[in-house]
Amino acid sequence: MVGMTHVPGHVALLERGLREVFGARLQSLLVYGLAAEPASHHDHDGHHAAPRLTRTMALVETLHAADLKKCAERVAAWHELGLATPILLASSEFRHSLDAFPLEFDAIRADHACVAGKNPFDGVAVDPSDIRRACEVQARSHLLHLREGFVETQGSADALAVLIVKSAAPFAALLSSIARLEGLSAPDSTAVGHHVERHVQLPAGVAGDIAKLAHVQEISASEAARLFPAYLDATERLAAFVDQWRT
């Protein structure tokens, strides 16, 4: 997306606040994560869930400690409006950050709208080799975490259930990263899981089943014992796939 025809009121208030801080130094304001999987209105126990905060990124000509202090004075009001704390970048940092945070910036590039100023992503692409390297770090870190976590359960199925649930959201993020590497898109984490299963040739259902657990708080010990071997195997396969991936 390159522009937003209708700027939501709370985003317009953010822009006004940033202009009070940076004046003419504010070069761009983006809203991103527009197609992100929406948070449900209620959690699995039926309690009301907090709405998703609107995520933004601002590029400024220069960024100083005094600017951060002024933003800190406004951030509580921004949160009350439903805004996440904006990412603030000096414009000179932007292109130098693409290879350091390729997954994050490529996700923003693929799903954003420019609210004010020049779109910094015009004519910009994230190098696929940087995305592959970041995916490998993510996959291998997750694999090491699972192995270490399993040993630390000391054979307790209840502890294993906790490990699986706590690691489900990072696993869903890994699936999204690999999907991005492959140029795949899907509307939610479960669909991403199914996409990756087919493309990486994982056993059907494994990735999707784990990804679903990012939205629950607990599973039974018996379910954990059933899921973990396939979960660990899938993570090993993903790490090997990313290691061997070529454009």
pLDDT above 70 for 105: yes
Q: What percent of the chain has pLDDT over 90?
A: 72
- Mean of pLDDT values over 45-63: 78
94 and 140 share one domain: no
pLDDT per residue as tens digits for the range 58-84: 999 999 999 999 999 999 999 999 999
Residue type at position 103: L
CA–CA distance, 23 with 17 (Å, rounded to integer): 10
- Mean of pLDDT values over 22-43: 76
60 and 103 share one domain: yes
Q: What is the number of other CB atoms lying within 10 angstroms of the CB of residue 125?
A: 9
pLDDT above 50 for 219: yes
CA–CA distance, 145 with 174 (Å, rounded to integer): 13
Average pLDDT for the chain: 89
Asked if residue 94 lies in contact with residue 109, where contact means CB atoms within 8 angstroms, the answer is no
59 and 164 share one domain: no
Inside any domain, residue 123: no
| Residue with token string 């699986």 | 164
Phi/psi at 13 (nearest 5 deg)?
-70, -35
CA–CA distance, 205 with 193 (Å, rounded to integer): 8
Among 117, 149, 171, the domain boundary falls at 117
Domain harbouring 154, CATH code: 1.20.120
Instruction: Give the CA count within 13 Å in the CB-facing half-sphere of 197.
Output: 18
158 and 213 share one domain: yes
The sheet with strand 26-32 has its strands ordered as 87-90, 55-60, 26-32, 112-117
pLDDT above 70 for 5: no
Q: How far is CA 83 from the centre of its chain?
A: 16
Query: Which helix (H) or strand (E) element contains residue 150?
Result: helix 128-152
Distances (CA, A) of 113 to 62, 164, 209: 22, 35, 32
Domain count, the chain: 2
Looking at residue 213, what is its pLDDT? 93
Model confidence pTM above 0.85: no
99 and 132 share one domain: no
Residue 165 belongs to what domain range?
128-244
Inside any domain, residue 184: yes
DSSP letter for 23, please. G
Q: What is the number of other CB atoms lying within 10 angstroms of the CB of residue 214?
A: 18
- Mean of pLDDT values over 239-243: 94
Structure tokens at 141: 């870190």
pLDDT above 70 for 48: no
Name the more confident of 3 and 216. 216
Listed as own residue / partner, the contacts of 223-231 with beta carbons closer than 8 Å and 24 or more positions apart are 223/161, 224/157, 224/158, 224/160, 224/161, 224/163, 224/164, 225/157, 225/160, 227/164, 228/150, 228/160, 228/164, 230/203, 230/206, 231/146, 231/164, 231/171, 231/206
Question: What band does 183 get if pLDDT is binned at 50, 70 and 90?
Answer: confident
SS3 content of the chain, % helix, strand, coil (to 5): 60, 10, 30
CA–CA distance, 36 with 4 (Å, rounded to integer): 17
pLDDT above 50 for 189: yes
Name the more confident of 60 and 176. 60
Beta strands in 36-185 (DSSP E): 55-60, 87-90, 112-117
